[in-house]
Chains A and B, each alone.
Chain A
Amino acid sequence: GAVVSQHPSRVICKSGTSVKIECRSLDFQATTMFWYRQFPKQSLMLMATSNEGSKATYEQGVEKDKFLINHASLTLSTLTVTSAHPEDSSFYICSAAGGGYTEAFFGQGTRLTVV
């Protein structure tokens, strides 16, 4: 299968600062990327869907001004958590689809801790 790389794997930031998470498809062109949030012992919650060159589509209840998503190229999407607060602490996972594949491929996830 294809490879999706997510960086960083762990990040600790101070309350009020912003954090950027990168999601790269290494060996295929990802026309669509998805961003998920996962709370402990829970399933993945879709936050937003982004298509290359277009604005992201956010799920109901997700603040688009807090979670900025950019999908400027076919191999890179970024999620920026702006003015982070402790309640934003979570595990964030991206996935990428396209390149003729029928399934999406997942990154390794990013553990965000806001202190």
Chain B
Amino acid sequence: AQSVTQLDSQVPVFEEAPVELRCNYSSSVSVYLFWYVQYPNQGLQLLLKYLSGSTLVKGINGFEAEFNKSQTSFHLRKPSVHISDTAEYFCAVTSPVTSGSRLTFGEGTQLTVNP
């Protein structure tokens, strides 16, 4: 079984500042890792994913994340945020070995970008 912990429930930042949303996972088998964004009253949109290979993953909207196996982390970063990045962000994990596409989600981090 896998689990995901998002370390910050809320992250307020100013526009054009850098941001990091933290995610730690637990799994006894190999994992696929994902970050999703959710705008109010909408479904989830995939920002980026780590399957294998390079540990630095680049996604849409200028976001990137780094897979750190020793730290069991997959933190999301953006060097300069915009007001439009205000949303809920979810880190998720699945195992290609045991869970297929069944995702385990973290509790979410509300990113609020202030002018």
Interface residues of A (CB under 8 A from B): 1, 4, 6, 32, 34, 41-44, 46, 49, 91, 93, 95, 97-98, 102-109, 111
Give the residues in chain A near B106, CB-CB below 8 Å: 43
Closest residue of chain B to A96 (Cβ to Cβ) is B101
Does A6 lie within 8 Å of B43, measured CB to CB? yes
Instruction: Tally chain B residues at the interface, Cβ within 8 Å.
Output: 22
B 71-91 to A, binary, CB cutoff 8 A, 1 in contact else 0: 000000000000000000010
Closest 6 CB pairs of A and B: A97-B101, A106-B43, A106-B44, A104-B101, A108-B43, A109-B43
Give the residues in chain B near A32, CB-CB below 8 Å: 100-101
Closest Cβ of chain A to B10, distance in Å, is 10
> Bound complex: CA of A103 vs CA of B103, how far in Å?
9
Give the residues in chain B near A102, CB-CB below 8 Å: 32, 49, 51, 96, 101
